[in-house]
Amino acid sequence: MQEVALVLSANPALTLATGVVAGALLVLVIQRFRARTRPSSNSLEGLFTKDSLGEEMDKVVERRSFAGRSGAVLRARVDHLPQVGQLWGQETRAAAIAQVAQVMRAGVRNGDVVKTVSDPVSNTETLEIHTADVSETEAGAIARRLLDTLAQMPMPGMGPNMRVSASFGVAARQPGESEEEARNRAEVALAAAQAAGEDRVITAGEWEEIMLLPAPEPSPAKDTKAA
């Protein structure tokens, strides 16, 4: 929804509240991704001992080997949803949620479950898919395919060139994990996806691997004294 972003940029008061929260998480996401390629003389310092890091990586491998048998939870929210309601009215806001739900129901298998979860406290609606017998990678591919379909659909009430976009958080069920626990991990991934921009998909595995990376080293202090 690039057009939405352009409208919002002209009204700083409208975006301040959401920008402060999303900005902090976005900085963390960017720093962690950059750390993937940043050399470090001691990449474990301040994070894990060698033993504990090995244990964490073993858990990642175990989760991935189990994921193909467990199914996954996909959680999605319309990007800039509060602003959609403010700019185009609550009727258009409701229509945007309904359109994303329609794309989901049309794009998943008959046995998959699609539902809308409302949070009256934050006034948000989250769309949720429960799908069986898929790995986390496959579930992420499903989310991206749904977003591709959504991008082709015009949104009544928002102008001929405007489209609704959404972001996904995806989590495969872990061994012994409850549905609520999988949902919570998908929610964390969704928060990271929306903080990173719009029209994004982040899996819980990707986010957990990012968090295992060593924290970026502080930038060296610059000498402001004249040479």
pLDDT in tens, 157-192: 777 778 889 999 999 998 888 889 999 999 999 999
Note whether residue 164 is domain-resident: yes
**What CATH number is given to the structural domain containing 90?**
3.30.70.270
Note whether residue 222 is domain-resident: no
**Per-residue pLDDT for 214 more than 80?**
no
State mean pLDDT over 16-42: 45
Q: Is 145 exposed, middle or buried (0-12, 13-18, 19+ CB in 10 A)?
A: middle
pLDDT grade, residue 224 (50/70/90)?
A: low
The amino acid at residue 15 is T
Note whether residue 47 is domain-resident: no
Does the pTM of the predicted model rise above 0.85? no
Note whether residue 218 is domain-resident: no
Closest CA to 4 of 93, 84, 82, 78: 84
Range(s) of the domain holding residue 200: 2-38+69-212
